[in-house]
Amino acid sequence: MREGKTEEARTLMEATAKEAPENVNVRVGLASVYFDVFAKALAEKDEAKYREYLAKCQEEALKAVELDPDDARAHNLLGIVAIYRGDIDASRQSFNIARQLDPLSWVYYLNIAELEVYMGKLSRARRNIELARKFRAPPGDVELVETLAAWKRGDLVEARDTFDDVALLEPERARTWNGATSIATFDDMAAHCCQLEFCGPYMKNACKRMDQEVAERKREIETVRKELELEAERSKRIQDVYRNRRDIEILVEDAESEASKDKAPAAPKGKTPAKK
């Protein structure tokens, strides 16, 4: 995978999964490989392949949850799958379960914070950013979410200054933010966000202030149908796993933003009450 040999990695992981079908690490690893495959397929506008590997990624992550309900990593992957489906509620629910299972990990606090920035819940985002920092999140990762938050509230001076700090001290982290390969300035970061389906539509007003066009989420009917089916399946199986777990809160509060007029993509209907 590090060498960019995704197909070779997929073949090896699939063979490993056949040999060790009950191994949670293998299931999570295979889901991660499938994520790279479907993300690349989507970028290449190959929706048939995107649908196939999106489903495979979610299935492996759900199998991992069923094998070990206390493993937070699979929920993190489910959160990423959900945001690619345009479902911010389901994504937030998955990240929230991951946080409950592993409350000392900075990763889930920062993921939740980024979603809250998109939803315009900036005070909540700030609390989760501070928790991520408390649990020793890399400074660059924290400051990139702070850059996003400053941009969302319209403070371009702070957004640029915060990004410049990251670019100076951790240029590789800045360069590769959210799948990018060549971010060097805050303007580059903004342009990249505005062209991402899971970022741009939630930052619509911020993008317009910088004369950036916003990505539109366009899918074939068959893809939309498949995404709806996947969310229904995810919701049912997660509820089945945690039905008798009093320590895990599955539902999250209404994700309707009171602080933002940006219009996010409509979430699929008929799902568990939660998004991204």
Give pLDDT tens digits for 180-215.
999 999 999 999 999 999 999 999 999 999 999 999
3-state secondary structure of 11: helix
Provide CB contacts within 8 A for 11, sequence distance 6+.
Answer: none
Please give the Cα distance from 122 to 112 (Å, whole number): 11
Amino acid at 184: A
Q: How far apart are the first and last CA of the chain?
A: 26
Are residues 10 and 33 in contact, defined by beta-carbon separation less than 8 angstroms? yes
Region at 223 (left for phi over 0; alpha for psi -120 to 50; beta for the rest): alpha
CB count, 10 Å around CB of 139? 14
How does the average pLDDT of the chain come out, rounded? 90
pLDDT in tens, 151-188: 999 999 999 999 999 999 999 999 999 989 999 999 99
Q: Name the token pair of 203.
A: 């930052």
Residue 140 buriedness (CB in 10 A; 0-12 / 13-18 / 19+):
middle
Please give the Cα distance from 241 to 139 (Å, whole number): 35
DSSP structure class, residue 214: P
Residue 275 has pLDDT above 60, yes or no: no
DSSP structure class, residue 179: G
- pLDDT band at residue 252 under the 50/70/90 scheme: low
Are residues 140 and 174 in contact, defined by beta-carbon separation less than 8 angstroms? yes
Percentage above 90 pLDDT, the chain: 84
Residue 142 has pLDDT above 60, yes or no: yes
Percentage above 70 pLDDT, the chain: 91
Residue 7 has pLDDT above 70, yes or no: yes
